[in-house]
Each structure stands twice: as structure tokens, then as C-alpha cells.
Structure 1
């Protein structure tokens, strides 16, 4: 089959424009599922955000008011006179600065309990994920069962046990239960199974590394996002813990911030100025939680790309 020189010249000519791609047919009458899904998801997220943010906004507004303004003005808007600074001064100076003592106690309970619980959860989850031994699934099942047991159900047995040991009304009565996190144990086991390769562990063993060194240098680094999640759950749980300190503690100097604020609120019927102390104290109590979330969220973003493949 022969081809003319003119056809060859047309095909080889670089200046000849390429044929335009046919335009896709217009999809008239067909609903835009993507747009509708986006609107639906955005609406749900907006409602959920308002559910969490409106109480915080109310606390901020209420903390700027006197007791009279708290009941005589709109609850969701500021009073003509902002009284935030005076309320905070009263919070930190009332009764010799007892609020600072409660705040320090909460920091102690969260710092010691949260960090130790996170380490124990990571170590236990790593061991169950990477070591094969008899009864491993039974242990995991018992831990998983512990996730289903509410903390209020264990408060009374813990009180009776600590009472026999002479540990009630001490820091240990709140710290010891705080260093155990069944949910963290479960989460770290699942995460270690997915993110810590067995081949890397075997390579480290061939190079002469011990099991503890492998765990601390390889396991913990790979499990950082899970550990941050466990720590944040423990931080929020211990910081907001109310029932266990109520059962265990009788000395006001050992109270965490939740129990101390409830002690103030119980006196508002007798002394209405405690409304100002309570709302100001609640505002201060949520600041560490917000700060921890803002600081630690970057570890989540960094951990999400650990398994990415670069080309």
C-alpha cells in the first residue's frame, strides 16, 4: 500500500494542529451526587462542631459576668461590663489560692498517670502483636473485656481494696488506677500489628540488638500516633475524672480540679458569689485540654504518612 508524499508531509509536519478532543456529552437531568454528598457531610460536621463549641462559647461568656449579670442578661452574649479579670483574680486568690493546689493536683494525676499508662499500653500492645506465646489471645480477650467495664463499676471495689492497703485519701489512690488503660492496650496492639514490620525486627536481632532496645528504638517510634492518641484519651479521662476522686479522697488539699469546682458549686445556694468562682474556674480548667490538643495533633498528621511509598 503506497502513501503519497503530501500525506507523509502532513503527518510529519510539527506545525500541524492536533485534532481537538471531542467534548463530553452534557449530563442533563442527572443529579450531582458529589455535590449533594459534600453538602450533607458539611452540614453534619457543622452540627457536630456547634454541639461541641457552643458550651465552650457559653463558658467564655459566663466567665466575663458578675453573678447579677449572669442571671439578668442574655446567656449567649456579653454583659455591658466585662468582669473577666476580676473573676480570674478571685479564682486564683480565694481561700489562700486553693484553686492553684487543685490545678497542680490535676496536672500531677494527668502527667504521671497519663505517661505511665501510655508506656504500659505501648509495651503491652507491642508484646501481644510481635511475640507468639501460649494464651496470647486469652490475654487479649481479657483486656478487650476490660474496655467494656465502666469505670464507675470498679470504683467501689477499688475503694475497698485500697482501704485494706491503707492507700485511701492519698495521691496513690488516684494515681494507681490511672496508669491502666485497657483501650490504650487494645489500640496499641492493633497499631503495632499494622506498622511494625516483622522483617525489621528480625534484621535488628541479626545485628545483635536486644528486645528492649528494639522496642524502644523501633517499636516506640513507629507507634507514636497511637501513643499520642492513648495519651490524649488518658489526659481527658483523668482530667475530667470525678467519681473516683470523690470516692477515694477526703482531704481538700488532694482534690483534683473537677472535685474542687464541684465543691464550690455546691455552695452557690448559700453564697451566690460562688457562681463567679465556678464559671471562672471552669474556663481555666478547659485551657490545658485545648492546648494539649493543638500541640499534639501534629504527631497524628506526621504518623499518617509513615507508610507512604515514594516513587
Structure 2
């Protein structure tokens, strides 16, 4: 009679060796629970809450204060509404005070943003695309210069720029603000990185094989791919030009060419001059009106600039 051991040996010889399936690695229950629900960090939550408060409280104060009259600003708590709601009266007075000079300052700011920030975006797109997709002698030197320019603050160049523009006779003119705004080292670097990741070299080679010239390839093939980066650079340069204060301060003396930053500062300084009329309620209302276009631009172009900031963060 065959024993169980011999029977198993015959079965193995007849059917061949059987490989047992690999053991399954089971994730511990605690680990699976932690993967499904990330552990909350109390210190990080508190820190995030402090950052949110630091960001929103000044904006809340600005919105509430814009609803108060000049007398209501001194008679009420800063973070709560006063007895009178004067928002619409303040807005109307802001646009009509001093012969409607606020409208002139707003148009000046739009002029500086359209020509300065728009031109800086165009130059950054052209320069970043060329640096990313073309090889030429001295490319590393250009890269070092761009990185160095990003590290130099704009205030350090304000006085040399003023002296140079003074010799050229361009001070106290809009060009003294527009021309320096055309240079954006950070925008150039951002477009350089974005163009490197967003435009495959095979796509350019295919377009050239099909007979497309460099200009047609750039306009019809590359520009649509560079749209998120262009919007990101445009937003950064627009905010920088819109909030620019120090450069117009040293370049422009004529109030008719003031941007909003200098204009509102001149209204704020009226209270400290002899016989000056304090108009703090107009300064606050004008500040609220000033930030509304920036908020609208970020909200409308949110999808583009977020994807532009994420360019190059993942390497495939």
C-alpha cells in the first residue's frame, strides 16, 4: 500500500512542481486608516488660522471703514460698522473730489499697467522662449545675469535710474515709469522655465519639417502652449506695476501724472499740512476701489495662473 509521501511524490512528477502564489502584503489596519484619513496637525492648523486672520483682517477693516463717514471713522470701533452707512456717498465723493482727479489717477495707472506690464509680459515671453529653445554662445552668462537681476531689489536701482533718466530729460513724464516697468527678470526666468517644460522639442522639429518658419511656429504652435505662463507673468507684472510707489515717487512731480498710489498718499498727507482738509474716508474708499481690479483679475484668471505656477514642478 502506497504511503502518502510516495503518492505526493508521484503527483509532483506527473504534473510538475506547483508554485504557490506569492503571499499578499496586507496593510495594517492602522496604516490603512491613516492613509484614508490624513492625520491632522494642531500646530499647523493654528498657524494656518493665524495666516488667514493676518490676511483677511486688514481687508475686513478696509471694507467696514469704507462704509463710514469722516466723523464715523473717529466715533466707532474699527472692525464694526458705524451708525451711518455712507459707502455710496463715499464712492461718489471719491470720484468728484478735487475736480475728479481720482479718475485721472486711475487712468494713469491703467496706462502704466497696459504699456508697462503688457510690454514686460511680451518681452518675457519672447526672451524666455528664445532662451529655452535656442542654443547660442554665452547662454550660461545670460542665465547668471537673469538670476542675479532677480536677486537685486528694485529700490536699489531707483536712484541710478533717476540719474540716467534725468540726463535723458524723461523725468516727470509717463515714460519714466513705463520704461523701467518693461524689465521683469523674474517674469523672464519664469517664462524660461515654463517654455522648457511646456514645449516639446519633437513638436518644434515636426513643425519645421512641415515647412513652417520660426515666426509661424512660434505664433501658431508655441503661443497656445505658453498661455498659462503668459497669464502668470502678466498677473505678477500687473500687480507690481499697479502697486508701484517708490519709482513714481522719485520720477514724477506733476500730480496730473500720479498713479493711484501717489494720489491717495497725497490725500492722506493733507491732514498734516497747514489748512489741509482731512479726507481719510476718501483715502480708505479709494484704497478699496484700487484693489478691486486686482481681485477681479486673480479670480477670473485663477485657472491659468495656478497651472502656470505648477509648471516644472513634476518631472516625467
TM superposition score normalised by structure 1: 0.85
The equivalent position to 1:34 in structure 2, one of 25, 35, 38, is 38
Unaligned runs of 5+ in 1: 2-22
Distance 1:133 1:171, change over 3 A: same
Q: Which residue of 2 aligns with 1:215?
A: 218
Moved more, 96-105 or 215-224: 215-224
Counterpart-to-counterpart distance in 2, 1:90 and 1:222:
46
Contact 2:270 2:278 in 1 (8 A): no
**Structure 1 residue 41, shift from structure 2 partner:** 5.0
The equivalent position to 1:299 in structure 2, one of 283, 298, 304, is 304
The DSSP-based 3-state class of the residue aligned with 1:88 is: helix
Q: Which residue of 1 aligns with 2:19?
A: none
Counterpart-to-counterpart distance in 2, 1:228 and 1:133:
28
The equivalent position to 1:58 in structure 2, one of 58, 61, 64, is 61
Distance 1:188 1:285, change over 3 A: same
**Structure 1 residue 300, shift from structure 2 partner:** 3.5
Unaligned runs of 5+ in 2: 1-6, 8-25
Q: Which residue of 1 aligns with 2:138?
A: 135
Instruction: Render the CA deviation track for 1:9-38: whole Å, top value 9, x for unaligned.
Output: xxxxxxxxxxxxxx987549x98982224x
Contact 1:122 1:185 in 2 (8 A): yes
Q: Which residue of 2 aligns with 1:283?
A: 288
The equivalent position to 2:83 in structure 1, one of 80, 83, 96, is 80
Counterpart-to-counterpart distance in 2, 1:304 and 1:151:
22
Counterpart-to-counterpart distance in 2, 1:207 and 1:31:
54
Q: Which residue of 1 aligns with 2:189?
A: 186
Distance 1:24 1:257, change over 3 A: closer
Distance 1:216 1:143, change over 3 A: same
Distance 1:221 1:165, change over 3 A: same
The DSSP-based 3-state class of the residue aligned with 2:271 is: coil
The DSSP-based 3-state class of the residue aligned with 1:80 is: coil
Distance 1:85 1:119, change over 3 A: same
Contact 1:242 1:258 in 2 (8 A): yes
**Structure 1 residue 273, shift from structure 2 partner:** 3.5
Distance 1:222 1:82, change over 3 A: same
Contact 1:67 1:272 in 2 (8 A): no
The DSSP-based 3-state class of the residue aligned with 2:170 is: coil
- Does the alignment pair 1:158 with 2:161? yes
Instruction: Render the CA deviation track for 1:214-267: whole Å, top value 9, x for unaligned.
Output: 122222221222111111111111111000001110111100000000000011
Contact 2:197 2:311 in 1 (8 A): no
Contact 2:229 2:309 in 1 (8 A): no
Number of aligned positions between the proteins: 286
**Structure 1 residue 40, shift from structure 2 partner:** 5.4
Q: Which residue of 2 aligns with 1:17?
A: none
Contact 2:66 2:87 in 1 (8 A): yes
